[in-house]
Every structure is written in structure tokens, then in C-alpha cells.
Chains A and B, each alone.
Chain A
Amino acid sequence: MRPTDPTDLGRKGPKEIHVLTTLIERQMETRIVVIGQSNARALLDGYECMVRDRPERPGAAEVTVVMKRPKDLAINSWGPDGHQRRIEPHTMSEVLTQIGPTHVVLMWGGNQMNLRAMLATGPPFDVILPPALGEADYAPDSVLVPCAAVVAYVRNRFDGNAELGDVLATTGPLNAKCLFLAPPPPLPGTAVRERLRDEAHFIRVMKELGVDAATVKLVPDAVRQKLWVLLISTYQALAAEQDSAFLPPPAGTTDAHGMLDERFWGVDATHASAEYGMRYMDEVLSWAGVPTP
């Protein structure tokens, strides 16, 4: 099966039969587009590892991972059986239009809690999770922040996001199945502190706070874990509102405290590793109906 040429679509006259054939081919293929920002890096690297180490796993699926960077898109696209191919659109919507995916996977944002509540300022705070999401314990000497406020913060980041709106608007007419992925669980405080000294964003924030990586106060792991649970529950709710599926983080990637297990720590304070991304991509393929060889 050859990669489809999107420029064939819509041509008339002598090309009609070819176009029809292409369309039928396309209907039969599994074409997955994964879109995200920095958290998509683990997926991109993980899938690269997968096609290298387990080339049989993707089977006939085409997989394209699009990672939005501050100034451009990083796109890796693999045809059936993991053959890499070149694709150079300029916007996420163009990627979607060009590929015509059968499955769209969104690893959207995900660093909301790290940006807001990894470093601690002000008095200690805590949240109480709703019963469906976990234990209702909290530190009584902390300022209790209503869950609704945390959810409102996450929702505000989604609701006003024109780029996400654009992606969803483009995805709708494609009749593609849509899947929301969860951002990775937070790294434990010890791992965060080790990595902070190399992170430009947090170095800048710490400088503003008048602290450094050694002295900065971190929000306790237990609180960050609860914030992450609220974060992914909001992703789940968002997915349901979009008639989309939601896939929680891969099984076995958290430690006993619900933090990201050491085996899956990324190189920085907030992201997961390629190994984590490979496991997630494996589950994405299963969700898309790609059988495990």
C-alpha cells in the first residue's frame, strides 16, 4: 500500500477512477495523527523507538506525530510498517486536511499544573478530591482551594484556546475518531528539584521569587498528585463533551504514591520519557484497532 497523495483528492476527469481507488484505500487504512505540544515529544520519541525496536507493531497503520513548538511544528510521519516519510505542512489543520486521518489523538497541553502549582508561593494549600476520584483526605492546616477553582483554571486554558478549537473544527468533518490522552503524572519533588536547575522557564520564575533550585519551596507531592487527578478528570470530561474517547496514562507507569515511576522520568522536571511514550503509543494503536502482532 503506498502513501496516498492528497493532491489527487478532488481531481476530476481522467483521474476519477484513481481518486475513487485512493478513497477506498484510504477508507481501509488506519491513519493516525497525534497532535500535541511538549508532552507529545515522549510520543514522538516513543514511536520512533517502537518502529526501530518492534517494527512489526504498527502493522499497516500510518502514524504521524505533530508536536507544536514555539515557532514551528515538529512532524514525524511513518507509513505502513514504520517507513518514515516526509510531510511539510505549516499548520496543524493543514496536517489534518492533508492526511485525512481515520484517528486523531490529542495530547493537548498537559503542563497546566506544573506551570501553576509545582513551585509553591504563599501559604500551603490543598484540595479535596470528589469521591469518584480518590480519597477525600487533606492537610487541615492548609488553605483549602475548591476543586471547582482548579477545574475552572484548566477549563479556561481549553475554552479560550483558538488553536485547539481550530484542530477540533478541522477534525469534525473528517469523521475521524478522536482520542484525548492524559498528560503524564507528576515527577516526585526530589526528581523535580534535581532537574529545575536546567529549566529556563523555572529558572526565570525562581529568579523572580528570589530563590534557586536548592531553596525553592515545592508544592508537596501528595497535593500535586491530586491536582493531576483533577487535571486528567477534566481532560476526560472534555473528551466526553467532544464525543471523543479518553485514554488514561499507560498502566504501570505510576509509583505507589501515584507519581510518575522513576523508570519513566524524562530529562526535565515535567515530561515523561520515550519509554513512557512508547507504552502510550502501543495503547493508542490498540485503541485504533491495530492488532498486536
Chain B
Amino acid sequence: MQDPYKSGADRTFWSRAVARDFDPGAVSDPPPFTFGRQDSFMSAGSCFASNVRRYLELWGCTYTVAESPHPQWPESRETLYYEAFSARYGNIYTARQMVQLLQRATGAFSPAEEYWVDPEGHFIDPFRPGLALRAQSLTEFRALTTQHLAAVRRAVEDSSVLVFTLGLTEAWYSADDGAVFPACPGTVSGSFDPDRHRFVNFTVDEITYDVGRMVSILRSINPTIRIVLTVSPVPLVATATGRHVLVATAHSKAMLRVAADTAVHDDPGMAYFPAYEIVTGPQNLGTAFEADLRSVREETIDKVMQAFATTYLGFPTGTKAEVQARSDVTTEDMISQAFADECEEMMADDQLRPIVRDPIVDPIPGPPAPVPASGILQRLDAVRRRFDR
């Protein structure tokens, strides 16, 4: 009897699939579904997720845009990260943040820290702290928030596909009700209150559970929506755990990666796309990132998105250069600017922070008490049991 490796395909051997003849388009497992021209896409997640829109639009796919500047008021265009997705939710770094957004969009949750007020008396959205156009009254704030949340719901209703990128495990939340923020209060806007703002580093079962909740709410709005999960290859700007940021990054990405695989397991409406592996694998020989060793190079993003097209799209696309050569896509120009903008996560690093609205940046407290370790497998079993119910 031959051992099982003897009959393995080339793609299952490192020497044949990675060390040589690496093909990004062959990395993904065979997907349970593919997409056609009739599909409409929504994307959400960390900074890396904004690539999805610009490529899909380049390829002539339908990208759902449920919230955009009014054509008569170009000044209502927000900073580009808020215009880079299907609605103005900006970067969604954690699965919990996405669950919370969907809960708010369906009226299932109203955060206790509904707003912050800046020194001019304008209203800051704690869940979109980088919005440049702040409401000038509470009535306006609530109306704009209602409009935004309705757009989120509409985006889900109108899309047949959600591409969601898991970015971080670390987050800050309100002690009032557990509402998570996209950035530590006081870094982008608002101020840090050590009695009210707490740090959390989500565990793999918490993330998996949150992804499950996310899927459940999405399907309650749109039962046929299909979900592609990815993990952002972009390292952490900073960690609040007190550990070395390299170790913290490895930990976070490992948690997200396991949670993604667990979540898509046996769900024909979900798939995992290996953007993380295509970017961070050693096959790139250290060329995947810019000089800051964090920003993914444009050529690498192109590779990832070509692999996405190969895996999921049932029609020819072409490389970015080829598409650009044959069309004048102005949206792409706009969205590509998103990469020049700094995301909220970067506000955690004083040395990277381009704009500090609030001159008083409260100190980030020391690392939280260590969480007792428990076996990942035990946690996964617990999560699976929960889903099975």
C-alpha cells in the first residue's frame, strides 16, 4: 500500500508548489462557488479590504455602493477610507466590530457611548472616529448615523457577495456595554478614559463565534449572500499587550487564520481566500512589503487580486496594467488614493500619526492581566458545538 503522500498533487508539496513554480492562483482550495457578472459585491474589513473594491470595479464587476457623497455636494465626500467601501463604515478591524455594525444596522444594539463631543461642540462618532465632517448638533448626528446604518443594511440587501477581511484581534471597548471601537479612544479623536475604556485581545473561539454571529445576521438580512473571508497580511502597527509587536502580530494572525478556517468549515455559503498566505509566504523572498515592512507593495496586491479573479471569477479580467491600458477608470484613481490615507490603526503610533486632532493623547495603560491559556482545540470544539446547536 502506497503512503498517502505518494499520490499527492504537486500543489501539496512545498518543493513543487512553493519553492518553485509558485502560482498564486493555485493556492486557494477549490471554492464552493464562483461569481459571474450578475453578482454584486460588498467588501468590509481592515485596510487591506479596500483593495477589493478598486479591483472589482476595474474588472467591470458590480460593486455595491449604498452610501456616497451627494452629487451636488462634493464637499460631503469623506476622507477616502470612508468612501472605499459599500457604505461609510471605514475600516472594520475585528469580527466583533462587524457584528456590532450589523446589530446596529438591524436595530439590535445601541451603544451606550453613542457619541463624543469635541472642543468645538461638534459630535464625534466613536465608531467612525476619523470622519472629517462632524455633526453640529445631536439631532444631526443621530440623523446622519441613522442614514449610515440604513445604508449598511441596504448594502447587505443589495449584495450577493461579501468579501470580509479579518484584520486584528486587539481592540478597545467601552466598559459600559462592551461596544468595541475601531481605534483606541484618544488616538484618532475623543479622549481616553481608563475607567471606561478597556483593552481586549480576542481569543480564537471568540473570533470564530463572532464570525458565526456575523454570518447569521448577514443571512437574516440577505439569506443568499455568500461570504469570502480573508485575513489581512498587514502586520500590527502597535500592540497594547506589551509583547514584542512581531510576536503579537504572529499571535493575532494565527488566531484570525484559525478562526477563518473554522468558520468556513462545512458551510457551502462561505469560503476562505488565502490572501494572507500569498503575501506573507516565504515564496516572495522578502519582496512583498514596502520599505516599512508593513505596507503591502502594489505589485503584491496585484498578485493577490489576480489570484482572487482566477479562483472566483468566471470571466476574464486581466492584470491591473492591462485593464488600465484599455479603459479610463476614474473610480480606480479615487480609490487608489485610499492607500495614501492613513488608516485609523496607524493612529496608535505617534511616530506614524499624520494628524492628531486632540492634542491631549492619553497614555495607553500597561498590559492587561494575562488571560489564562487554554487549549485551542478545546476552544474550537466548544465553538463547533455552539454552531452545531
Contacts and interface: CB of A to CB of B under 8 A. Distances in A.
Contact of A146 (B71, B72, B133, B139): B133
A149 B75 CA distance: 5
Interface in A125-145: 125, 128-131, 136, 138, 143-145
B293 interface: no
B75 A144 contact: no
Interface in B132-152: 132-137, 139-140, 143-144, 147
A150 interface: yes
Nearest to B147: A144
A147 interface: yes
Nearest to A137: B139
Interface string A141-165: 0011111111011001000000000
Given A117-B72, A153-B75, A146 B144 contact: yes
B224 interface: no
A147 to B, nearest CB: 5
B137 A148 contact: no
B5 interface: no
Contacts of B135: 146-148
A150 B73 contact: yes
Contact of A121 (B71, B75, B133, B139): B71
Contact of A125 (B70, B134, B140, B143): B70
Contacts of A138: 143
A117 B75 CA distance: 13
B73 A123 contact: no
Interface residues of B, number: 18
A131 B133 contact: no
B216 interface: no
A116 interface: yes
Interface string A27-69: 0000000000000000000000000000000000000000000
Interface string B117-139: 00000100000000011111101
Contacts of A156: 75
A292 B62 CA distance: 68
Contact of A149 (B76, B137, B139, B147): B76
Given A144-B147, A146-B133, A148-B133, A153 B140 contact: no
A122 interface: yes
Interface string B218-246: 00000000000000000000000000000
Contacts of A125: 70, 72-73
A116 B140 contact: no
A148 B143 contact: no
B139 A145 contact: no
A98 to B, nearest CB: 38
24 contacts: A116-B73, A122-B71, A125-B70, A128-B139, A129-B137, A130-B136, A130-B137, A131-B137, A136-B137, A136-B139, A136-B140, A144-B143, A144-B144, A145-B70, A145-B76, A146-B76, A146-B133, A146-B134, A147-B136, A148-B122, A148-B132, A153-B73, A153-B75, A156-B75
Q: Which 5 A-B pairs have the closest CB atoms?
A: A122-B71, A149-B76, A148-B133, A136-B139, A149-B75
